[in-house]
């Protein structure tokens, strides 16, 4: 019988099929963060249990940590949020799991540091109580977001019961035009198919365009799968994946590398493998894309207009009109950050555009690297200086302005161009209007003071 890469990972982890029709799936790694992981960890300890395999459990501090440089990293940006940090720290120590604490040189957003440290690997199952865990499928892992109760169960038993999801193949062929990124591609696909378009499927992204994407861009593409209502996304591992994983802290060492790679090479869909749904995308048609509404599916290529059938409620929140161009809308804020687009390649792309320019007057522009390692690497290249000289704030690693945590935010009503993944009402703060875009478009717009593409595109 032919199998997809997803079938291969699923079958390799199936402990048994239960009378309910669900499968009991072995979980290789659990990742936690202080916002939701602390609940699971504390509940587990309170019930008198410990993780079955503490060395397979990882925890970082990312969601509520202050990302304002120089303000003291124990200072949570949510009023009253500090308790999540202290409770997580103490529970993680008691449980004996791998804790990547606020002051660790490895600290950062879970979906940024998991690949960076080689925790996400091809062929592994990895779960985290966070919806963007699908990002990590970019490395050929079977990774998906769960709730806190399931996280507790996975830690206690090393398994989870699950109904096998349907599968969707998204084949992307053709060359992305210059200046068009994986973020534009993700927004383009979601706009075409709708926010529910992935029908709770496990998506396999494949095709020549995907093969040509570096790992950081693949992570961006898979990150947005949950905004498309997918169970998760996966990209079959290849040479790009193997090269990326060499010498990472948790990657197989030299002694075990060959054996690991030989297994990883088998993790691809058979030629005649069956999928429940198929979508084909022509990458050449993708343009720099920006959302105009309050769902990631409500977007348009720069140069197009907001459609006549646009959702009224979304337009009223966003203060926009049907027929209005998505280009040249005046902004009040710009944010480069998040697990979608705050890796070194994202910061480099933005810095290239910003270099020698100034943020337009009246605009609050912020760049928050996705991890402390990204921040360090960026500083070694002098990117922090490029951002600061242009008038950007330069933060410490964390989720920061990707989501409103109750503390600092943009002023109500501010229109923000943002490299993040969610533009729901109030996502970045009460009344804040979010336009999702690539780091390049965020950078160009911050300089222009209005939504615009980098010069290569105009």
* Eight-state DSSP code of residue 24: E
* Eight-state DSSP code of residue 313: H
Q: Least Å distance between CB 131 and ligand IPM?
A: 4
**Is there a contact between 242 and 208 (Cβ–Cβ < 8 Å)?**
no
Q: Within 10 Å of residue 93's Cβ, how many Cβ atoms?
A: 11
Task: Name which of 57 and 390 has its Cβ closer to ligand IPM.
Answer: 57
Name which of residues 104 to 163 contact ligand SF4 (CB under 6 A): 109, 130, 132
By C-alpha distance, which of 386, 380, 376 is closest to 349? Answer: 386
Task: Name which of 420 and 452 has its Cβ closer to ligand IPM.
Answer: 420
Task: Name which of 13 and 63 has its Cβ closer to ligand SF4.
Answer: 63
**Is there a contact between 359 and 333 (Cβ–Cβ < 8 Å)?**
no
**Is there a contact between 298 and 291 (Cβ–Cβ < 8 Å)?**
yes
Q: Least Å distance between CB 339 and ligand SF4?
A: 3
Task: Name which of 224 and 331 has its Cβ closer to ligand SF4.
Answer: 224
Q: Least Å distance between CB 132 and ligand SF4?
A: 5
Which residues make Cβ contacts (< 8 Å) with residue 171, sequence separation at least 6?
A: 206, 207, 278, 279, 280, 281
Name which of residues 303 to 332 contact ligand SF4 (CB under 6 A): none
When CB distances are held under 5 to 8 angstroms depending on the partner's kind, the choice from ligand SF4, ligand IPM, none that residue 35 binds is ligand IPM
Give the span between the Cα atoms of 2 and 8, in whole angstroms.
10
Q: Least Å distance between CB 337 and ligand IPM?
A: 12
Q: Least Å distance between CB 408 and ligand SF4?
A: 14
If one asks whether residue 339 binds ligand SF4 (CB under 6 A), the answer comes out as yes
Triad 281, 287, 292: Cα angle to 5°: 105
Give the span between the Cα atoms of 211 and 214, in whole angstroms.
8
When CB distances are held under 5 to 8 angstroms depending on the partner's kind, the choice from ligand SF4, ligand IPM, none that residue 109 binds is ligand SF4
When CB distances are held under 5 to 8 angstroms depending on the partner's kind, the choice from ligand IPM, ligand SF4, none that residue 415 binds is none
If one asks whether residue 183 binds ligand SF4 (CB under 6 A), the answer comes out as no
Q: Of these, 66, 269, 338, 434, which contacts ligand SF4 (CB under 6 A)?
A: 338
Q: How many residues in total does the chain contain?
A: 458
**Is there a contact between 335 and 416 (Cβ–Cβ < 8 Å)?**
yes
* Residue nearest ligand IPM by beta-carbon distance: 131
Name the one range near ligand SF4 by CB under 6 A: 5-13, 95-103, 293-301, 397-405. Answer: 397-405
Q: Within 10 Å of residue 345's Cβ, how many Cβ atoms?
A: 18
Positive or negative, the CA dihedral 442, 444, 449, 450 is negative
Cα dist. 46→29, 94, 129, 341 in Å?
22, 11, 19, 37
Give the span between the Cα atoms of 267 and 187, in whole angstroms.
27
Sequence-ordered alpha helix ranges (H) in 201-311: 208-212, 215-223, 239-245, 254-264
Q: Least Å distance between CB 36 and ligand IPM?
A: 5
When CB distances are held under 5 to 8 angstroms depending on the partner's kind, the choice from ligand SF4, ligand IPM, none that residue 297 binds is none
Structure-block tokens of residue 87: 């409770």
If one asks whether residue 364 binds ligand SF4 (CB under 6 A), the answer comes out as no
Task: Name which of 114 and 241 has its Cβ closer to ligand IPM.
Answer: 114
When CB distances are held under 5 to 8 angstroms depending on the partner's kind, the choice from ligand SF4, ligand IPM, none that residue 338 binds is ligand SF4
Which residues make Cβ contacts (< 8 Å) with residue 160, sequence separation at least 6?
A: 24, 25, 27, 127, 146, 150, 153, 154
Name the one range near ligand SF4 by CB under 6 A: 77-85, 142-150, 372-380, 395-403. Answer: 395-403
Q: How far is CA 330 from the centre of its chain?
A: 27
**Is there a contact between 204 and 221 (Cβ–Cβ < 8 Å)?**
no
Task: Name which of 63 and 218 has its Cβ closer to ligand IPM.
Answer: 63
**Is there a contact between 203 and 225 (Cβ–Cβ < 8 Å)?**
yes
Name the one range near ligand SF4 by CB under 6 A: 179-187, 260-268, 299-307, 399-407. Answer: 399-407
x/- contact string, 406-445, with ligand SF4 (CB under 6 A)? --------------xx------------------------
Q: Least Å distance between CB 216 and ligand SF4?
A: 15
Task: Name which of 327 and 396 has its Cβ closer to ligand SF4.
Answer: 396
Q: Least Å distance between CB 133 and ligand IPM?
A: 8
Which residues contact ligand IPM (rule: CB under 6 A)? 35-36, 63, 130-132, 145, 403
Give the span between the Cα atoms of 338 and 403, in whole angstroms.
9
Task: Name which of 219 and 444 has its Cβ closer to ligand IPM.
Answer: 219
Residues that bind ligand SF4 (CB under 6 A): 63, 109, 130, 132, 338-339, 399, 402-403, 420-421
């Amino acid at each position: 019988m032919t199998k997809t890469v997803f079938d291969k990972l699923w079958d390799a982890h199936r402990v048994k099929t239960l009378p309910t029709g669900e499968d009991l799936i072995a979980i290789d790694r659990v990742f936690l963060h202080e916002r939701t992981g602390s609940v699971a960890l504390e509940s587990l300890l309170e019930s008198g249990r410990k993780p079955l395999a503490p060395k397979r459990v990882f925890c970082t501090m990312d969601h509520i940590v202050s990302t304002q440089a120089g303000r003291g990293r124990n200072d949570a940006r949510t009023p009253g949020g500090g308790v999540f940090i202290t409770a997580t720290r103490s529970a993680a120590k008691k449980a004996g799991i791998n804790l990547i604490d606020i002051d660790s040189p490895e600290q950062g957003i879970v979906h940024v540091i998991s690949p960076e440290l080689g925790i996400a690997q091809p062929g592994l199952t990895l779960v985290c109580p966070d919806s963007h865990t699908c990002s990590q499928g970019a490395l050929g892992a079977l990774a998906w977001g769960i709730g806190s109760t399931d996280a507790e169960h996975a830690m206690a038993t090393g398994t989870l019961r699950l109904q096998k999801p349907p599968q969707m193949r998204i084949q992307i062929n053709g060359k992305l035009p210059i200046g068009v990124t994986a973020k534009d591609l993700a927004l383009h696909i979601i706009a075409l198919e709708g926010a529910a378009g992935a029908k709770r499927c496990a998506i396999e992204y494949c095709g020549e365009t995907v093969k040509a994407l570096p790992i950081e861009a693949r992570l961006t593409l898979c990150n947005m799968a949950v905004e498309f209502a997918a169970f998760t996304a996966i990209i079959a591992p290849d040479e790009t994946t193997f090269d990326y994983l060499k010498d990472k802290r948790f990657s197989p060492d030299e002694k075990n590398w060959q054996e690991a790679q030989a297994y990883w090479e088998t993790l691809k869909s058979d030629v005649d493998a069956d999928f429940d749904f198929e979508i084909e995308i022509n990458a050449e048609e993708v343009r720099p894309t920006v959302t105009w509404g309050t769902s990631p599916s409500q977007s348009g290529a720069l140069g197009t207009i907001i459609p006549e059938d646009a959702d009224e409620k979304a337009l009223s929140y966003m203060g926009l009109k049907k027929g209005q161009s998505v280009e040249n809308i005046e902004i009040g804020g710009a944010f480069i950050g998040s697990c979608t687009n705050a890796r070194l390649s994202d910061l480099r792309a933005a810095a290239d555009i910003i270099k020698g320019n100034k943020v337009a007057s009246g605009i609050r522009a912020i760049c928050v690297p996705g991890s402390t390692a990204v921040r360090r690497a960026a500083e070694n290249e002098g990117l922090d200086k490029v951002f600061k000289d242009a008038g950007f704030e330069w933060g410490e690693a964390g989720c920061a302005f990707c989501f409103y945590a109750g503390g600092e935010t943009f002023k109500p009503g501010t229109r923000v161009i943002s490299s993040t993944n969610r533009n729901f009402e109030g996502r970045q703060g009460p009344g804040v209007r979010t336009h999702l875009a690539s780091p390049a478009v965020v950078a160009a717009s911050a300089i222009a003071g209005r939504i615009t593409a980098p010069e290569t595109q105009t």
